[in-house]
Amino acid sequence: MRSKILFTLLFVSLNYFGFSQRPASHPNVDWNNNLEYSDEFNSGVLDENRWNKNPSDWGTWSWEPENASVIDTALALQMVQHTHIRNGENYYFTSGILRNEEPRTYGYYEARILATDKGQGTCPAFWLYSRGQPDPTEEGEAKYCEIDAIEIFQIPNQLSRLEMNLHTRILENGELVWKRPGQGFEALTRNTWVAPWDPRDEYHTYGVWNRPDSILWYVDGVQRGGKKNYYWHLPMHITVSLGLRTPYERYINGVRTIQPFPDSIPEPGFPTQMFTDYVRVWDTPAQLYIDRELYYDQEFSIYEDLEIDAIYFAGQNETILVDGWLGVTCNLQELDENGIVVNELTDLYPNAIGKESGKAKFSFDLTGLTPSSALPAGHTYAIRPVFRTSQNDGEDIYMEDEQFYPILLTETTSVNSLEAKEKIKIFSSNDGVNVQLSDLDESAQIFVTDLAGKQWYHNPSVFGDLLIDNGNFPTSGVYLISVKTDKLHRLEKVIIAR
């Protein structure tokens, strides 16, 4: 039966490769299929110049190169029951993995996978993860990034449960902190979908699109998940693997722990294999991203500098050009009622020149600018970033949704000024949101609203530190925390996982 399935899939795969070569999720796009990272496995042998099948073991997983091979033009990753000792501890299974040794960040990644006949206890996966990144120095920067395009968990009684999750380790309050599913960060990291079919019965297509602004997941061409991309901007390695799951391992105190299944009691169902018909990677368009929620129609004091962060992506193997905009440029413009620029401030980020992707930082001195309320009728302020990429012989890239974001300049409180950030600390935890005000010599008002502007919490007079516990938030999701004094105003987004 397996041979018949594989023969049929070979015919379909060859036709797909020859005539389509577009993602199952985006059949009408004209993205470049990057053959350096893609593999059809049609040669009958594994391309070991492209893939590493013998990386170092980790956790409960022991990778052995003999467990990765090509069978009938499909990648076969095998798991076998084999008692062995690693670091003085007994382990009972070895399995297969392939990892592309050339990392990349943004793009569309797709694989066509048939899960193991064994099912329970095995986890076919297609994912991306970073390795060996330096320790971050800036608050909120990532040390580690992982995007699971698919993990077919196949835990008891949930064989059709598909996990499309995120993992990261970021610098938070001076310490590296894990943020991942099962540890209080579900809204940030978890996507679960229960399929109406069994992934062991036939091949299905799993894809993920990593963008500077968002991460989108697809199963058989249909979007099944999406998250805002807060941290997943590091170079990552494309990986296909067959890992252990319950009941052969368990999380105990946050650590994967092997469970005993000695050879003296053979476990039925082994050896078992997952099959991957292909791995395909597409280069997706250049993009420039500024967090809309932080700037669009938000207020900023003319007595403080306006700080702006932008994430840029010139396209795979493309670079930011010096001509046109001298790197990444951000303009602060006064527009009249017809959208004509009547006044403009400009800041440059030349460090982006020659780079493929990164974060650009801009700062505007607002001293002397007229508050928005005193502008002529119909006039408004707007921020407009732009860069020129080398793709298409030079192309100007603006923000994808809108070329500019309107903002409001005021004479009142300072929003996210340096002093406000130093004296007002806001961060989420498993229990809720911590607001630290110990450095203030005055009381503060605290407001909690959702992204639609609905208020869920208000404390009119707070001295010292405060925990806004999870009971004040109706659901998991992103909320805005506003802390105001007579002089200072800090406004931050937090993610609540209930």
| Positions marked active-site | 146, 148, 151
Structural contact between residues 192 and 166, judged by C-beta atoms closer than 8 angstroms? no
Interatomic CA distance for residues 472 and 167, integer angstroms: 26
Which of 215, 274, 318, 238 has its CA nearest to residue 38? Answer: 238
Interatomic CA distance for residues 130 and 141, integer angstroms: 14
Tokens found for residue 133: 């990144």
Give 437-494 as a DSSP string: -TT-SS-EEEEEEETT--EEEEEEEE-S-EEEEGGGSSSSEEEEEEEE-SSEEEEEEE
**Quick one: 189 exposed, middle or buried, by C-beta within 10 A (0-12, 13-18, 19+)?**
buried
Interatomic CA distance for residues 343 and 490, integer angstroms: 28
Angle value at C-alpha 495, between 492 and 497, nearest 5 degrees:
155
The continuous run of DSSP H or E covering 13 comes out as helix 2-19
Residue 451's alpha-carbon distances to 40, 130, 294, 314, 448, in angstroms, are 43, 31, 11, 30, 10
Structural contact between residues 270 and 110, judged by C-beta atoms closer than 8 angstroms? no
Cis, peptide link before residue 55, omega less than 30° from 0: no
